[in-house]
Each structure stands twice: as C-alpha cells, then as structure tokens.
C-alpha cells in the first residue's frame, strides 16, 4: 500500500533557489512513485476555500430543476451542471462501468477577453461562456476568485516541474499565457445507492497537467491504484490539497511521472448529504504541442499503457493540448442516461 507524501511548499516561497530545488526533488520523487501527493504551506487563503466550499454545498442543495437550468446545450463544452449519470469517466480508459453517480458543475477561464484565439474554433471551445445559477448571487464571484487562486498555485507547480527536469524555471510561461484550465465542483452521493458495477466516479486518469483537489480530511472514498494493482485510500492533509499528475504531464515527462488511475467509491463515513470536492484541472494553451522530454516510455512500455492505449512509439507523436484534453472529456460525456424530463428541460445556449 502506497503512502501519500505530504510536501510543504513554504521553501518554494521563502527558501530561495535552494528551497525551490529541495521542494522540486520532493515533488519529483512523489510523481515517480505514485503520481499523487499532498501539499501544505501553499498560498491559497483558508477563508477563500471555506467560502467556496460553503457556496458549492448551497448549489448542490438547490432544487433539481434549478440546477438543470445551468446546463448548456453543448455538454462537450465542459460548462455548467452535469446531473448524476451524465458522465462516464471510465469511458476514457479500457475499463467499463455504468455512468457515474456523481453530479458536477464546471467553469472555465472567467475573463478570457475578446481575442480571436478565444472566440473561434478550434480553441474557442476552451473559452466557452460560463453559466451561473440565478439563485446564488455570491456563487460566481467566489468561484472566480477560487479559480484564479488555484491557477496561481498551478503556476507554482509548473515552476517546480521545470526545476525537477533541469529546465529554466520560466519554461512554461510562454506555454501557459492563455491556459484552458477548468474548475469542477462535485458532489458524490452517500453509500447504498449504486447499481451493480457503478461508482460515484469510475476508474480514470486526469487529462491535463496538474489536478489540485480540495476535499475534507479523512475517508471520502478517493482511491488510487498503486504499482502492484491494489487500490489505496487517499486522505487529504489538514489545510492542504491533494495534487496529482495528469496525462499531459505524463506525456511531457516521457512516462517518468505517473498519471495514475483513481476512482471514488462509497464509504460508510461519507457525509449523509454527499461528499463535496473542488477539483481544479490545469491545462496550458490549447495549441501547445506536447512532445516527451525523454524516450523513457520506449524502454518502459507498461508506463504508456497506464494512461493511453496503443504502442509505446505512438506516445512520441506530438499532440496538441486541445486534442488530448477535450477529446478525452468528450468521450466521457454521456446523455443516454438522462430522463425525458431532463432532456426537455430548458438549457442555456452553448
């Protein structure tokens, strides 16, 4: 059973070059061993996390009809509300399971501007308009503040990525000046309501570079697959986040850093109202082409199989960020489980 390393980021901010290198070494070790780690000593204000979690809880406790009003007509844009059984994360892997029983709400960049890059295809889908519930006027500003704070933390993690691989600390700056990141808030149902083979969130890997997850400490059902194939519970650190490597970053590092399969299962200690999580998915510029830094996957083909099918050589074909991230997301979206009432409910323009 793998232990979740908890890394204090304080030396990154306070320890100069030596502190930055020390933190980068800790991140490098955790990403090679499990692909998941905890962080504390970050600069995200605790009051912002508390405020955002409270409003997220209020959103999910709105009447079903009110939540459905924040669906868009194009689910693949990754905006607004997705009801239970509206997505199947395992569809992006070789696993098969019924649609996931979670519900979610997602937003993208809050202030993309009016540049043609953000208005026209293909990159325009990454900057689709956000939608908001009329019943919670404080929800939008809190989500936008949280999005920006987590975007800054993701930027710090990218600096550590560069340092870990001997690249200039600002290597990602030009590749991340128009990021396509997404903030997704989720509620997982309490145990006892699953069909056979169904999960609150089925086995999957994340699609981007870094995922930064806030969930309450203790048992919440999040499990990570270890190298030996067993599943390990992941508990969030107090006053911290759970961070994991996504497919893009695994590809960039040539499989040296692991984008690890994970899932959410029901647990007896879950909140009776359902578990709430805040997941920030960092994704760099849409048109950045990702080539691995090394040829390690060629020598270790089992690494390639952990995050995508196909021969190891295929993982050395350059792939634009948008093609990988949005291709996988669209594969996971499922409308076939929606009720007739949900299909005919009014939707906002996509």
For 146-171, the pLDDT digits (tens) are 999 999 999 999 999 999 999 999 99
Q: How confident is the model over 82-109, as a mean pLDDT?
A: 90
> Can the peptide bond before residue 122 be classed as cis, meaning omega within 30 degrees of 0?
yes
Which has more confidence, 320 or 52?
52
Confidence of residue 187 (pLDDT cuts 50, 70, 90): very high
Q: How confident is the model over 178-186, as a mean pLDDT?
A: 96
Most confident of 182-186, 195-199, 294-298, 341-345: 182-186
CB neighbours (10 Å) of residue 283?
Answer: 26
Q: Quick check: 57 and 276 in contact, CB under 8 A? A: yes
- Least confident residue range of 42-51, 132-141, 264-273, 301-310: 301-310
Structure token pair of residue 199: 């999960």
Task: Share the mean pLDDT of the chain.
Answer: 86
Looking at residue 134, its pLDDT comes to 94
CATH fourth-level superfamily of 6-344: B-lactam Antibiotic, Isopenicillin N Synthase; Chain (2.60.120.330)
Looking at residue 216, its pLDDT comes to 92
Query: Does pLDDT of 44 surpass 50?
Result: yes
Confidence of residue 345 (pLDDT cuts 50, 70, 90): very low
Q: Quick check: 329 and 80 in contact, CB under 8 A? A: no
The CA distance from 126 to 180, in Å, is: 6
Looking at residue 163, its pLDDT comes to 96
Structure token pair of residue 180: 């396509």
The CA distance from 25 to 23, in Å, is: 5
pTM recorded for the entire structure: 0.90
Tokens 């399969």 found at? 261
Q: How confident is the model over 289-311, as a mean pLDDT?
A: 62
Tokens 């040539």 found at? 254
For 234-254, the pLDDT digits (tens) are 999 999 999 999 989 988 988
How many Å from the N-terminal Cα to the C-terminal Cα in the chain?
Answer: 44
Q: Which of 268, 277, 291, 274 is nearest to 244 (CA)?
A: 277
Looking at residue 60, its pLDDT comes to 96
Query: Does pLDDT of 330 surpass 90?
Result: no
Q: Which of 262, 261, 281 is nearest to 324 (CA)?
A: 281
Which has more confidence, 192 or 136?
136
Looking at residue 306, its pLDDT comes to 53
Q: How confident is the model over 180-194, as a mean pLDDT?
A: 86
Query: Does pLDDT of 339 surpass 50?
Result: no
Q: How confident is the model over 284-309, as a mean pLDDT?
A: 69
Q: How confident is the model over 105-118, as a mean pLDDT?
A: 92
- Least confident residue range of 151-155, 180-184, 225-229, 283-287: 225-229
Residue 262, helix vs strand vs coil: strand
Q: How far is CA 239 from CA 156, 202, 307, 309, 316, in A?
A: 18, 27, 30, 37, 38
Looking at residue 182, its pLDDT comes to 96
Looking at residue 58, its pLDDT comes to 97
Looking at residue 303, its pLDDT comes to 57
Q: Which of 110, 100, 278, 103 is nearest to 184 (CA)?
A: 278
Tokens 């020598």 found at? 299
């Amino acid at each position: 059973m793998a232990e979740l390393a908890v890394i204090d980021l304080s030396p990154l901010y306070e320890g100069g070059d030596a502190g930055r290198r020390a933190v980068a070494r800790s991140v490098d070790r955790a990403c090679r061993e499990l692909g998941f780690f905890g962080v504390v000593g970050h600069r995200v204000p605790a009051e912002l996390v508390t405020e955002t979690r409270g409003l997220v809880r209020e959103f999910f406790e709105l009447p079903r009809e009110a939540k459905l009003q924040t669906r868009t007509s194009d689910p693949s844009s990754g905006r607004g509300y997705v009801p239970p059984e509206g997505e199947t994360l395992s569809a992006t892997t070789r696993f098969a399971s019924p649609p996931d029983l979670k519900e979610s709400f997602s937003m993208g960049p809050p202030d993309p501007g009016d540049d043609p890059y953000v208005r026209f295809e293909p990159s325009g889908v990454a900057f689709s308009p956000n939608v908001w519930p009329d019943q919670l006027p404080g929800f939008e500003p809190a989500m936008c503040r949280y999005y920006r704070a987590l975007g800054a933390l993701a930027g710090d993690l990218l600096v550590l990525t560069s340092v870990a691989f001997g690249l200039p600390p600002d290597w990602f700056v030009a590749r991340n000046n128009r990021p396509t990141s997404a903030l997704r808030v989720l509620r997982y149902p309490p145990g006892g309501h699953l069909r056979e083979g169904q999960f609150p969130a089925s086995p999957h890997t994340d699609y981007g570079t870094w995922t930064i997850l806030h969930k309450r400490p203790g048992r919440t059902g999040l499990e990570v697959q270890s190298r030996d194939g067993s599943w390990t519970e992941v508990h969030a650190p107090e006053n911290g986040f759970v961070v994991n490597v996504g497919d893009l970053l695994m590809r960039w590092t040539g499989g040296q850093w692991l984008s690890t399969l994970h899932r959410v299962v029901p647990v007896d200690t879950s909140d009776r109202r359902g578990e709430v999580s805040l997941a920030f998915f960092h994704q760099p510029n849409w048109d950045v082409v990702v080539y691995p830094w090394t040829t390690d996957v060629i020598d270790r083909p089992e690494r390639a199989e952990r995050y995508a099918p196909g021969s190891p050589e295929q993982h050395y074909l350059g792939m634009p960020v948008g093609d990988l991230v949005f291709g996988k997301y669209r594969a996971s979206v499922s409308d076939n489980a929606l009720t007739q009432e949900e299909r005919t409910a009014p939707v906002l323009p996509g």
